[in-house]
Each structure stands twice: as structure tokens, then as C-alpha cells.
Amino acid sequence: MTILTDPGYRVKAEQKGEHLYENEMLTACSEDYYRVILNSEELLELQKVRGEMMKFVRIKSNLSDQSIQDRLQYNPEIIELYLDEYDLLDTSRLVEKIRFLQNLNIRVYLHQPSTHNGVYLDILSEDEDMRNYYYETSKILSTICHNENIHSVIHAHYVNTISSNSDKQSTIKMRRRIQDILDFASDRFVWEDTIQGIFSFDNPYLLDELIRPLDLPLNIDVSHSFIACRGDNGKLQQILESTQKHAKYFHLVDSMGEKHDSLPLGEGKIDWKMVKPYVMDKDFIFEINLKGDHNDCTPMIDSVKYFNELELSCT
């Protein structure tokens, strides 16, 4: 029995009305794709009402119908599906939504669940249950990503976990643990930096002892990098420069550089004119924290508009 078929999970899933994932590997998806929320004519009408389609509508969503419907009205190029631990109990539901979005010519990224039983993930966790969960969910995400030809964002750890303190020995230990994941995931995962600890740019050993030896594909969260270098745009530029070979994907989020504040672009202290050339030829999303039920992505769309206006001012 795996963690994801544990009876405790069964009860939680039933409370949410979910179906359970019973197999070790991904089963075939139903031929009936995810219910079409808005048909193509309705989408076109909404786009006409909103005027010319915006460029760079690249945003995140959860799996709820309401959240996805809200994003579709803006004709997105990329949607990153931010998963919680219950979303992997029914992988057929997730795959159907991936295929539904791909049918609309939307590029899809996934984001690994951030917590297990309310505790943030850490690849070096001393808790066996947490380590098993990290490995099992990584296997599930890897299978989906390979089958659907997509990628997933994954965190080696979050802040306030055992990996929040860094030194050379712990960095090498994390490199070995990540290699275990790479053995089956290959290039399907992009690894996101955090604001403090081993997998953050305040760790002087991160590049030379972990990223470069593994030739690791990265998701650079610009706000996380900015916070890790204490709000210094010069140091942020050095990070962007030194990771260009490895950075495959970006989260564009503003910050004051002091704490994890996840601000819309233009409301923090990041120099976006400096950042823009580093991301233009890469995939990215505007990954702004949303309030409430996450069914209104307006703060992300405001960041899209800011980015597009910035582009005009740079030409």
C-alpha cells in the first residue's frame, strides 16, 4: 500500500468527493475529455468584448472549474496548474484537464503539491512518511509529464524546513537526493529556488556543488531570488546571468525584497527592465498570490499589462 492509497487519504478524498488513484502507475484516461466550460464561440465573444488579445497571458490556476473558466476568458498561452495533495488522488481527472487545455493550444505546466498533511515538503526531511510522499508524488508527476509531453515545477524544499540551513555538506547531500529523482524524471521537472536555505541563492554552494554538476533545469522565481539577495537588483542580475544555461522557466513576481510578499509587477522593487531580456526567449508565468477562492486572476492580468507596457517602453 502506498501513501496515496492509505485509508486516511481515502476518508479525506471521500469528504471532498474525489475518486482515488488505485494503481502504482498512471492508468488510461477516459475518452471523454474534461467538460468544456466555455465553447469556442463564447471564448471569441469574450475576447472581442475585451478588445485585442493580449500577449504573454501566462498565468496559474488550480483545478477548479471556476478558476479555469476565469483564466480562459483571457486566451492564455500558458497555464500552470498548481496542485494540492488531493489532486493526485485522481490522476485521470488531472490528465483530462491537461488534455482539455492542450486542445485549446494552451501550454501546460504542473506544480508539485507544496505540502503533505499540512507540512511543507523537503527532499531531505528526516520524516520517513514525508520522504516517501515526496518520492511517490514525484514518480506520479514524472509519469504524467512524460505521457503528456509537459513539465512540472518541483521544489527541493520550502522555507522553515530542515533544509533552511545550508552548508557544503548538506548541499552535496541534496544533490545526491535530487539525482535519485532525475534518474526517472529526466528533464521533465524544473526545480524552483526558494528564499532561504540549500536551494536558494543565499547558499554560496548552490551553483557549483548542485546545479552545475547535475546540469539541473531550473524554474527561477524572480521574487525568491530577489529576496535571497536581500533586495539587491545588481545581485539579482548576477543570478540571472549565471543561470541562463539552466533556467528553462520563470515565475515573474514582484517583491520588496524583505519577505515572501508575491506582489503584482510594478508594486515592488524589482527592476523589470533589467529582468525582461533574460526571460523573453523562455517560458514564464505571472505567479501572483491571489486572495480568497483564487477564482479571480485580475492581479495576474494586471501584471501581464504591466509587462506588455514595459516592452513598449523598451522598444
Residue 276 scores a pLDDT above 60:
yes
- Residue 14 is predicted with a pLDDT of 41
Q: Is-contact 130 122, C-beta < 8 A?
A: yes
Nearest Cα neighbor of 108 from 85, 141, 77 is 77
Give φ, ψ of 283 to 5 degrees.
-75, 145
- Residue 1 is predicted with a pLDDT of 43
* C-alpha span between 158 and 171 (Å, rounded): 15
Per residue in 162-185, pLDDT (tens digit) is 999 999 999 999 999 999 999 999
Mean pLDDT throughout 29-34?
A: 38
Torsion of CA 83, 229, 273, 254, to 10 degrees: 40
% helix / strand / coil in the chain, to the nearest 5?
45, 15, 40
* C-alpha span between 82 and 263 (Å, rounded): 18
DSSP 188: S
Distance set, CA 94 to CA 22, 147, 186, 291, 315 (Å): 15, 13, 21, 23, 40
* C-alpha span between 309 and 281 (Å, rounded): 18
Element (DSSP H or E) covering residue 291? none
- Residue 289 is predicted with a pLDDT of 80
| Cell numbers that stand for 227 in this block | 529576496
Residue 38 scores a pLDDT above 70:
no
- Residue 88 is predicted with a pLDDT of 93
- Residue 4 is predicted with a pLDDT of 54
Per residue in 232-264, pLDDT (tens digit) is 999 999 999 999 999 999 999 999 998 988 899
- Residue 292 is predicted with a pLDDT of 67
Q: Which of 17-31, 108-122, 230-244 shows the lowest per-residue confidence on average (mean pLDDT)? A: 17-31
Per residue in 72-82, pLDDT (tens digit) is 999 999 999 99
Q: Is-contact 296 261, C-beta < 8 A?
A: no
Domain boundaries, the chain: 3-314
Write the DSSP assignment of 203-246 as a string of letters.
-TTHIIIIIHHHT--EEEEHHHHHHHTTT-HHHHHHHHHHTTTT
If phi > 0 it is left, if psi is from -120 to 50 it is alpha, else beta; for residue 223 that is: alpha
Nearest Cα neighbor of 125 from 158, 154, 88, 153 is 158
Give φ, ψ of 235 to 5 degrees.
-70, -35
**Number of Cα atoms under 13 Å in the Cβ half of residue 47:** 17
- Residue 190 is predicted with a pLDDT of 98
- Residue 134 is predicted with a pLDDT of 96
Those residues with Cβ within 8 angstroms of residue 46's Cβ, 6 or more apart along the chain or in another chain: 38, 73
- Superfamily of the domain at 3-314: Divalent-metal-dependent TIM barrel enzymes (3.20.20.150)
Give φ, ψ of 53 to 5 degrees.
-65, 135
Q: Is-contact 260 231, C-beta < 8 A?
A: no
- 54 confidence band (pLDDT: 50, 70, 90): confident
